[in-house]
Amino acid sequence: MGVKQRFGKFLLVLMMAIVINGCSTNMSVSTKDNNKGTASNNGGTLVIARLSDAENLDHHFMSTINAASVTHMKIYEGLVGRDKNAEIKPLLAEEWKQLDDMTWEFKLRKDVKFHDGTPFNASAVKATFDRLLDPDVGSPKAVVFKMVKEVKVVDDYMVQLILSEPFSPLLSILASHEGGIISPKTIEKFGKKIINEPNGTGPFVFESWTPGQDIVFSRNMNYWGTKSKVDKVVFKVVPEETTRISMLESGEAHIAEPLSVPMMSTVEASSQAEVYRSEGFGTEYIGFNVQKKPFNDVHVRKAIAHAVEMDSILKGVYNNVGKKANSLLGSKVFGYHADMKAYEYNLNEAKKLLDEAGYPNGFETTLKTMDSKERVNMAEVLQSQLKGIGIKLNIQVLEYGTFVEQVNKGDSEMFILSWRNATGDADYNQYNLFHTNSQGASGNTFFYSNKEVDSLIDAARKEKNQDKRVELYSQSQELEMKDAVYIPVRVIENLAAVAKGVNGFSITPSGYLDINEVSIK
C-alpha cells in the first residue's frame, strides 16, 4: 500500500471516529463557497483551525504571541511595522525622526479611520499610550513602554514620544503588538476593563468572539491600505490536531496551526495539504522557578542542565526540526550571542552537583507543560533522563490558557515554554524574560532577579552604539547561563499545515500569522 493510500485509509478511520465522538465542526467551507466574490479579490471565508483560543483580545493585556497573532496587523496596527525582510517600515506613521536622546517625532497618515469611523490622529495615539501606561489600568505590558514619559500632540497629525531615558530599540517595540493603536471610542467604552470588542485601523473588522469556539473577522471595506482578498476570517478553536488536519482534507478549514513535528509526515503525504515552515526569532526552553525549592539552589539547576541529553531530544522528539539553541535568543535576533556555550551532558557532574546541594539521592518535583504533542513527548523524555540522577519528575499536562496562567503567577517548579520575541531585538527577550521588573505575566516566569543582569539590560537599552549593545547583551546572556535559569532546547521553526489552493500565507519570524495577502482558489 502506497503512502497516499495509507493516508487515505487513516483519514477515513479518523473521520469516522470524529463523527462517532461528536467532535465534528458545525462550520463547512467548501471550495465552491470559497470562490464567491469578485475575481480581483477572490473572496470567500478563510478558516484557521487553531490549537487554542486567545486569552483576550486586548493588546494591553495579552501575554502570548498566540493571542496577539489573531489581532496584530489584522485589527490593530502600529505607527511602524515590519516588511517581509523584518525591516522596520512606515505604517500609521509616514515618517519619523529622533530629535534628541529623549524625543521621537512621528508624522501620521491623514487618510486613516478606525473601524468605528473615528478619525485616526495624534489624539488617538495619545489615548492609546495613556491607557497603556495608566497604573490604574494595570496593564502587564506597561513595563514594555515604561520609558515613555509623555505622548505630546504637536498637531492633528504630528505626535512626539517624550522619553524619561534613552531607549534605542523603541521602533522595534512600536512594531510589535504592544504598539497597536486602539480607537479612542473603544478606550472610552471599556476604560480599565479588558477590551473584548477590538477596534483598530487594520484590514479586518471584528465581528464576534465565542470563547472556546471561534473568533470572526470581516474585511474592512474602508481600509486605507491594500484590502484583504478574503471576505471573512474565522479563527476556530480545535484542540485535537488530528481533527485540525482532517478539516483541511474535508475543506472545512484552510490552515491548521500549530503543526506538530510528528504530524508533518502525515501532511506531507496528503494530496490536499502541504507543510509550511520558516525559522523564527524565538526559542523553546526548559525553565525553573528559581524562587521555589529546590530550584532556588543554582547547584540543582546546573545538575539538571548537565543531566539532559539534548541531542536525543532534538532527534527523537523534534526530528531535528529547529536548530539546537545555545541561549533564549534565536540566531536571527539582534544581539544573539553565537559563542555562548550551554551546559554539556555529564551525568557524573550532575550527580556531584546534586550531592553538593544536599540531594545525593535526588528528589521529587513536577514539570508543567501545555497540551501539545512535542511538549508532552519532551516531558516524557526528560522524565526518563532525570531518573539517571535520582529525580522523580511528575508531568502535569494543562490546557494552554490554564498553563500560561499558572506559570505567570509562579505556580510552577519546572516548565517547558517558548518565547517568540515579537521584535527581533535582544531587548524584548532580555528585559521581558530576565529583568527583575518583568517578573510574572510580563515574561519573567523564572522569577529571576540579578542586579548585575538588570544593569546590563538597562545599559543596553540606552546605548546608541549598536556594537556596544551587542557586547552588553553578550555579558547578560553569559550571566544568565552561569545562573542556569533555563535549559535552551531549540530555535523555533514556525510550522503549519496549509490546504493547497491557499496562497499568500506566512508566519513572521516573531510568530504572528500573516494573512493579509491570502487568497483562496
Residues 254 and 361 in one domain: no
What is the tens place of the pLDDT at every residue in 66-95?
999 999 999 999 999 999 888 899 999 999
Could you tell me how far CA 28 lies from the centroid of its own chain? 29
The DSSP symbol for 372 reads -
Residues 355 and 478 in one domain: yes
Residue with cell 505604517: 91
Residues 211 and 146 in one domain: no
Contact by Cβ (8 Å): 166, 465: no
Residues 365 and 431 in one domain: yes
Q: Is residue 196 part of a domain?
A: no
Residues 175 and 240 in one domain: no
Please, what is the angle between helix 466-482 and helix 451-462, to 10°?
160
CATH number, domain containing residue 308: 3.10.105.10
Residues 377 and 390 in one domain: yes
- Report how far residue 253's alpha carbon sits from residue 25's, in angstroms, rounded to the nearest whole number: 10
Q: Compute the average pLDDT of residues 370-379.
A: 92
Mapped onto helix, strand or coil, the DSSP state of residue 514 is: strand
- Report how far residue 241's alpha carbon sits from residue 373's, in angstroms, rounded to the nearest whole number: 9
- Report how far residue 5's alpha carbon sits from residue 24's, in angstroms, rounded to the nearest whole number: 23
What is the tens place of the pLDDT at every residue in 92-145?
999 999 999 999 999 999 999 999 999 999 999 999 999 999 999 999 889 889
Among 190, 210, 238, give the residue marking a domain's end.
190
CATH number, domain containing residue 69: 3.40.190.10
Structural domain that includes position 59: 3-74+201-274+495-520
Q: What are phi and psi of 142, to 5 degrees?
A: -60, -35
Dihedral of CA atoms 255, 261, 265, 266 in degrees, nearest 10, equals: -50
Q: Compute the average pLDDT of residues 396-407.
A: 94
Answer whether the bond into residue 294 is a cis peptide, omega within 30°: yes
Residue with cell 539590560: 457
Residues 286 and 158 in one domain: no
CATH number, domain containing residue 147: 3.90.76.10
> How many domains does one find in the chain?
3
The pTM of this model reads 0.77
Q: Compute the average pLDDT of residues 300-304.
A: 98
Q: Is residue 260 part of a domain?
A: yes
Among 190, 222, 248, give the residue marking a domain's end.
190
Q: Are strands 103-108 and 93-100 parallel, antiparallel or unpaired?
A: antiparallel
Residues 355 and 440 in one domain: yes
Residues 210 and 303 in one domain: no
Q: Could you give the C-alpha distances from 367 to 307, 352, 397, in angstroms and in order?
A: 15, 22, 9
Residues 268 and 404 in one domain: no
* Identity of residue 317: V
Mapped onto helix, strand or coil, the DSSP state of residue 173 is: helix
Higher pLDDT, residue 422 or 343:
343
Residues 84 and 58 in one domain: no
Q: Is residue 195 part of a domain?
A: no
Closest of 287, 301, 321 to residue 410, by C-alpha: 287
Q: Is residue 92 part of a domain?
A: yes
Q: Compute the average pLDDT of residues 274-292.
A: 95
Among 136, 171, 190, give the residue marking a domain's end.
190
